[in-house]
Amino acid sequence: MENMERLLSAWIEEQTRRAVPVSVVLVQEKARSLFEELKRAQGEGAEAETFGASRGWFARFKARHGLRSLGAGGEAARAGAEAARRYPVLLRRVIEEGLLLILPLLVSLLWCSLSPPVSV
């Protein structure tokens, strides 16, 4: 189990370094696959061992390895990556079409719509 968690921690660090989003479900799946690989490598004696990668295990794993958060995962991460990819194109279009001149007006309208009504 210690070897699996050490390998899993290294895998998470590598994914984080490469800016690859990592979700709880993805970590649990990777933990199960690492556990199975290590079990096969150990041979007959390890066949009886089982591991479910439960949420409780994950919470303890995070505490043991000092993981605060794993960042956005799944759809949210993909949506953020897609928005970041499109941003330079959108910014260029805004500048070229002169929309930059009305941007302060749009921002102030946004803030007005977000502020609570003032009663006098």
Domains of the chain and any CATH numbers = 2-71 (1.10.10), 75-114 (no CATH)
Residue 15 has pLDDT above 70, yes or no: yes
H or E, element range at 65: helix 55-65
Which segment of 1-10, 77-86, 95-104 scores lowest on mean pLDDT?
Answer: 77-86
- pTM value is 0.56
pLDDT at 72: 46
The pLDDT tens digits for 20-75 are: 888 899 999 999 999 999 988 887 666 678 888 999 999 999 999 888 776 545 55
- Higher-confidence residue of 74 and 91: namely 91
